[in-house]
Amino acid sequence: MSETLTAAEIAAKSLFPTYARYSLALVKGEGSWLWDDKGNKYLDFMSGIAVTNLGHAPKRVKEALVKQLDELWHVSNLFQIPNQAEAAKLITDNSCADAVFFCNSGAEANEAAIKLARRYNQMVLNNGRYEIITFEQSFHGRTLATLTATGQAKVKEGFAPLPEGFRTVPLNDLPALEAAVSGKTAAIMLEMVQAEGGVYPVDPAFMKGLVALCEREGILLIADEIQTGMGRTGKLFAYEHYGIEPDIFTMAKGLGSGFPVGAMAAKEKLREGFTAGSHGSTFGGTPIATAAVKATLETIVEDHLPERAERMGKYLMAQLRGKLAGNAFVNEVRGLGLLVGIACKEPIADIVNGAQSRGLLVISAGPNVIRLLPNLLVTEEEIDTAVTILAELLEAKRPNA
C-alpha cells in the first residue's frame, strides 16, 4: 500500500524551506471566505497579502480569464497584444502616468523602476546619476537590487556583496533625507504606507518637503504602490491621498486579482529612458495576464471600490478603536483605507495563531503589529466578526486580565 502524505509533508520533502508555512492547506475560496482540505471555513483578512482585492474568484475576472484561455495564451512581446495595450490605457486613463511596462511581480516592477530611473538620468539627461534613496523599514522586493533598496537588514543577510547605489534614511526625517542627497542621486523611492514595515502612513508634511526637494534638485520620485495600489487605501493609488504625482510608480499584488502580474508606470518624459531593447520580460503582459488586469481595473473603477474601501476602512478602524479602548496591551490602531495595523506592546504571533484557530486569517507586519487586509468588498458583518475575535484575543493579553 502506497504512503499517503499530507500537503505539508510533501512540501517539506520537495520545496525549499523559504516560507514559515502554516499547516493549513487552503483549497477553495469565494468572496471573503476560504476553506481548507478538511472542510473548515475561514474569514480571510489577509487577501493573499493584499492580492485578492476583489475577494476570491471574482466573477468578472474569472469570465475574462476563461474566455482568454479559449483563445490565446502567449505570444512574444515582439507582436501587438491588444489586451496589453487596453490594460495600459486603463492605467494611464486613471492615473498620472503616460506609459506602462508590464512584468510578472512587484519585485520586477520595482526593478524596472530602478533601471528606468538610472537609464533616464544617464542616457537622456547625461548626468551620470545612479543612486536611489529609500527608507528604513521599507520593503521593495527580493531581487538583489530590490532587497538592497529595502530598509530592513533581515532580508539582506547572506546575500553580500550587495549592489552599490542605494542609500537608506529614516522615514519622516526631512533633514536626514536632505543630507543624503548628492550629485549622484537619481531618485527617491518610497511606499505611501509602509505595509510590511509596520503599517506606517507617510507624514503629509514630510511628503510635501520630499516633493519640494525632488523638484529643487531634479530628482525623480518613485512611488511603490505594490501593496497600497488597486484601491486598497481608499484611492486607486495611495499617492492620490497626498495630492502629488510621482514620476514613476509600481503595481502588482491586486493588479490581477491573484493572477501573477506586475507593472511599472511613468510620466511621458521618461518614455525616452526605455527604448527598444533596453528592457524586457518574456512573460510580461501576456494575453492571459492582461485579461485579468483589464477585468480587475474595470471592476474597481466602475464599481467605485476605492471609495468603498475608504468607507469600510473607517468603519473597521472605528470598531477596533472602540472595542480595544482601554486595553493597555494595544498601543494604537493605524492605517489607511483597508490597510490597517493594530500595534501592540509585545509580539503578537500567538494572536495570529489564535485567530486562525477561531476561523480568522490575519498576518503580522513586524513582530508587534497585527495587519488586516480584507478585500474591498468586505461587509460590515464580516468586519464585526473579525473585530469580535481579535478583541477577545487581545483582551486576554491585557495586563492583569
Residues labelled catalytic: 139, 224, 253
Among candidate residues 184, 187, 181, 276, the one with its CA nearest the CA of residue 224: 187
Whole-number Å distance between alpha carbons of 317 and 199: 13
Whole-number Å distance between alpha carbons of 219 and 35: 48
Number of H helices, E strands in the chain: 12, 17
* CA 146 and chain centroid, separation: 14
Among candidate residues 181, 197, 200, 194, the one with its CA nearest the CA of residue 132: 181
Residues 155, 147: contact at Cβ < 8 Å?
A: yes
Q: What are the DSSP E strand ranges found in 118-165?
A: 131-135
Q: Around Cβ 17, how many Cβ atoms within 10 Å? A: 8
Whole-number Å distance between alpha carbons of 370 and 363: 6
Whole-number Å distance between alpha carbons of 73 and 390: 43
Task: Kindly list the distances between the CA atom of residue 136 and the CA atoms of 25, 140, 190, 199, 390, in Å, as whole numbers in the listed order.
Answer: 34, 11, 10, 13, 29
Whole-number Å distance between alpha carbons of 22 and 24: 5
C-alpha cell at 281: 520580460
Residue 376: exposure state from Cβ atoms within 10 A (0-12, 13-18, ≥19):
buried
Residue type, 70: D
Residue 262: exposure state from Cβ atoms within 10 A (0-12, 13-18, ≥19):
buried
